[in-house]
Chains A and B, each alone.
Chain A
Amino acid sequence: MSHLAVIFKREFASYFVTPVAYVFILVFLVLSSAFTFYLGQFYERGQADLQPFFNFHPWLYLFLVPAVSMRLWSEERKSGSIELLLTLPITLWEAILGKFLAAWAFGGLALIGTFPIWLTVAYLGEPDNGAIMGSYVGSWLMAGAFLAIGCCMSALTKSQIIAFILSGTTCLLFVLAGFPLVLNFFEGWVPVMMLDLIAGLSVIAHFTSISKGVLALTDLIYFVSMIILWLFFTRLMLIIKSAD
């Protein structure tokens, strides 16, 4: 078994030694269902799809994903175990990826836990199962992007609270990037091309089609690049921060 797999295994198992994992999954399930049925008017729409369910995922992930990612490196820094981990004969990438993938797999597990909603819609009508599958994959990718951001923020600080706030805020900026709130701020003093670029970074813009079940290549590339980019930043932060 490679180093990566050993680290993944340890990290993944670590979620389940405390009640945190179960509480998290429970909260995720309760909130995602509440949003779908009340705010999303799942029944009233009378359509056999899961759009109301997926539409709320960016907002749900905004605070749930940082709650998962905040401990990834902060806890290691606080307890000092980072010194143990990084003096084992492994590469920094193995440590970063092992941790990230474990968190991502955990997120995936929570997502899989929402399957009764799929069963409900399948019972009530004839949904496009391919589209729903596509939305699930897209949602998981979005969670990965948020996790990568959180991973980087967690590498910055000993404090899980600070890591949580930093990642939540950063994720929020990316969610809102396409909204007037952010665009108005830049309008007028940055070139139009920049403005388009900022709007193009919007998580919502990339997730809208996904929530309808359309898994476009550009959206996939967006989320995958986000993950890769933020993991690179994580590595950078770990190298810079270890110097002091």
Chain B
Amino acid sequence: MIQVNQLTKQFGGAVVVKDLSFEVAAGAVLGFLGPNGAGKSTTMKMLTGFLAPSSGSAKINGFDIQSERQAAQAEIGYLPEGAPCYEEMTVYRFLHFIAEIRGFRGREIAHSIDRVLERVSLNAVLDQRIETLSKGFKRRVGLAQALIHDPRVLILDEPTDGLDPNQKHQVREMIRSLSDEKIVIISTHILEEVSAVCSRAMIINKGEIVMDNTPEALAELAPEHESVSLMIQDLDPQEVASALSLLPESDRVVLDPDGRVTVFPKSIGSPLLGAVQSLVAAHEWRVVSMVQHRGQLDAVFRAATEGGA
């Protein structure tokens, strides 16, 4: 359980994070979304005890990040932005160091490393210096060090940034595979990532939460949600459009130059698709294509953060 209460951070005169309050329960994968400079990283730095908040508080599984910093930090596995680590060390020595700092002793150290290697495949490069590794492997080293103590809270700052599509997929699979009782917070500006792994998405803009819901619920806010596009053969699209605009469920109709007609519903959950189908049947139109759209986070994100940093 993470409890954040009116967390605020100012740098000089600028307020980077403003009165942030939220709770995350075990089992949640929370995605922080926001344009660059929205305060995602700063929030994560405060949650992990790297930055002291200007005001407000955060509790990690009951431990206050300021007054009980070490106890709180022991609960957390953290991947800072860009996955920094001690590059002159070999992967094995580095993980060994982290395991020792995390309190493992003797044989436990090897066990903890073995356990993390089952999740994050690094076996091939264990004895290589980290500075010689590719970006994908470096990111994996960063993930491995965050996971080594099997933390109950995982905070990952842009875990897939700069990875190729395969590597992104692997990291997402890994995040999904983390057991249900953990809390995972990831920050990203890749929207598909949120839909792919998060159970909850929080859009942050200029240091404030502007939206907080499941990715599906957020996507439903997109104007194109449940709109229907269709193409009819051998018929003037203008005629189709005017017929569609007469439907009681139709809010507005948009005509594309390629002849595709899209009708937007008045409200979510309206029987627009059924109405369009009846209309098609009644006129005996020959349908080339008919698609009902699902809302995309992109549009919601842009609407919520437009004019942002």
Contact = CB atoms under 8 A, between A and B. Distances in A.
Contacts of A10: 86, 89, 97
A76 to B, nearest CB: 9
7 contacts: A1-B105, A79-B84, A83-B45, A87-B49, A89-B71, A90-B101, A244-B11
Interface of B: 11-12, 45, 48-52, 70-71, 73-74, 76, 78, 80-82, 84-89, 93, 97-98, 100-103, 105, 129, 145
Contacts of B49: 86-87
Given A89-B70, A89-B102, A243-B51, A83 B11 contact: no
Q: Is the interface of B mostly helix, strand, loop or mixed?
A: loop
Interface residues of A, number: 23
B84 A80 contact: yes
B70 A14 contact: no
A87 B97 contact: no
Contacts of B73: 87-89
Nearest to B47: A87
A15 to B, nearest CB: 10
Contacts of A90: 70, 101
A170 B101 CA distance: 34
Contacts of B93: 13
A63 B4 CA distance: 48
Contact of A17 (B11, B85, B89): B89
A242 to B, nearest CB: 6
B140 to A, nearest CB: 15
Contact of B88 (A1, A17, A80): A17
Contacts of A18: 88
Contacts of B82: 80
A13 B90 CA distance: 12
Contacts of B52: 242-243
